[in-house]
Amino acid sequence: MKFHEPKNLAFLNALIITLIYIVFFFLSVVLLFPLLLNNFYFYLVLLISSGLLFLIVIIIFRYTLDRFIYSKIRLIYKSIHMFKVGKKEKPVAFPEHDIIENVQSEVDTWEKEKQKEIEQLKQLEQYRRDFIGNVSHEMKTPLFNIQGYVSTLLDGGLEDPSINREYLKRTEKSVERLIRVIEDLDEISQLESGHIKLNKTRFDLVALTHEVIEMLDMKALKHQIMITVNDPEKHILVEGDKDKIRLVLTNIIDNSIRYGKTGSGHTKVTFFDMDENILTEITDDGIGIDTPDLVRVFERFYRTDRGRSVTRKGKGLGLAIAKHIVEAHQQTIQVRSTIGVGTTFGFTLKKV
């Protein structure tokens, strides 16, 4: 029995008051009119009056308790409820019955929701901090390099033919790197703000893949990685923003070279017909990605320790951009990988 419930509380109080009444009634009769103890009507009156008293006390208690609690909790209930449903929705009526039970369950669910929100906000805050740290780190390295080269050139290096051209070339490289970071950031912020307009056309996905492979030819040659396309003669028509899909393919194939098996690697591009969509899979036989990293590689600036050990060059933005582009097309991108065996990235596009 829950004693904090108004109906139980009223019952208990009525019982106590009635028992006290019976004891007093009995004692007063014993002391004042002992003869009445042998009278049947005395017991009848006692029974009826105690019953009536019990009922009246229960009713009065129940009513006053309800009114009291109602007036006290109503405001709390309303505030919580308004918080939960938001201002626009119509609030539901305040429950007339089981007030405490109702308020308790409302508070419980409200607390759980708030707890979840707090966790999400904390995560976002951490993400924001990481993001700012990463951006400044990405900018700092080429900026410090530029500063170093320019200072050396100004301090007499400009007249030294053994380093002047070399240092200017290195400065140019660092400037290019800075520009690339800024371009990638610009691309991401445009994609994230949702302002990006897709210029959708119909194009041949296989032909576009060949274009991208050609563009990355020199890099693949340098790492001695062979890139093949299954059904290279086939024409697969898809719908999408061709330039943006080119960027997706470039970023994924570029990764397959960068994190591939340098010396004798193989990257395979395969197309799968899936009723309404075409699934493009890019498989390499490189270093692979650890399972906990799989969900994180699409985050801005996220780089795996393995990736970092292979090259310092990556910015950790390529896959974040690819994911945004694919999702802007209302399509999906996923990855699976086995350490030491290789990695497969796959994304879908609407078939026409």
Q: Which is nearer to ligand ATP, 96 or 305 (CB)?
A: 305
SS3 331: coil
315 binds, among Mg ion, ligand ATP, none (CB under 5 to 8 A by kind): ligand ATP
Contact residue for Mg ion among 18, 255, 267, 343 (CB under 5 A): 255
DSSP string computed for 222-252: HHTEEEEESSTT---EEEEEHHHHHHHHHHH
Find the part of the chain contacting Mg ion (CB under 5 A) among 46-54, 163-171, 247-255, 277-285.
247-255
Q: Which is nearer to ligand ATP, 6 or 342 (CB)?
A: 342
Q: Find all residues with CB under 8 Å of 215, minimum gap 6, and list them.
A: 250
Q: Two tokens at 201?
A: 């056309």
Contact residue for ligand ATP among 289, 325, 333, 349 (CB under 6 A): 289
CA atoms within 13 A on the CB side of 47: 5
Q: Which is nearer to ligand ATP, 84 or 315 (CB)?
A: 315
259 burial class (0-12, 13-18, 19+ CB within 10 angstroms)? buried
318 binds Mg ion (CB under 5 A): yes
Q: Two tokens at 270?
A: 């395969």
Q: Which is nearer to ligand ATP, 6 or 288 (CB)?
A: 288
Q: Which is nearer to ligand ATP, 97 or 312 (CB)?
A: 312
**Using CB under 6 A as the criterion, what x/- string covers residues 267-286 for binding ligand ATP?**
-----------------x-x
As measured in angstroms, the least distance from the Cβ of 260 to Mg ion is 12
259 binds, among Mg ion, ligand ATP, none (CB under 5 to 8 A by kind): ligand ATP
Q: How far is CA 6 from the centre of its chain?
A: 43
* 308-316: long-range contacts, CB 8 A cutoff, minimum separation 24: 310/258, 310/259, 311/258, 313/258, 314/258, 315/138, 315/180, 315/181, 315/184, 316/134
206 binds ligand ATP (CB under 6 A): no
303 binds ligand ATP (CB under 6 A): yes
As measured in angstroms, the least distance from the Cβ of 126 to Mg ion is 23
Element containing residue 347 per DSSP (H, E): strand 342-351
Binders of ligand ATP in range 243-262 (CB under 6 A): 251, 255-256, 258-259
Q: How far apart are CA 256 and CA 259, in angstroms?
A: 5
As measured in angstroms, the least distance from the Cβ of 216 to Mg ion is 12
β-pairing, 225-229 with 333-338? unpaired
- Asked if residue 266 lies in contact with residue 285, where contact means CB atoms within 8 angstroms, the answer is yes
Binding site for Mg ion (CB under 5 A): 255, 318
Binding site for ligand ATP (CB under 6 A): 251, 255-256, 258-259, 284, 286-289, 297, 302-304, 307, 314-320, 343
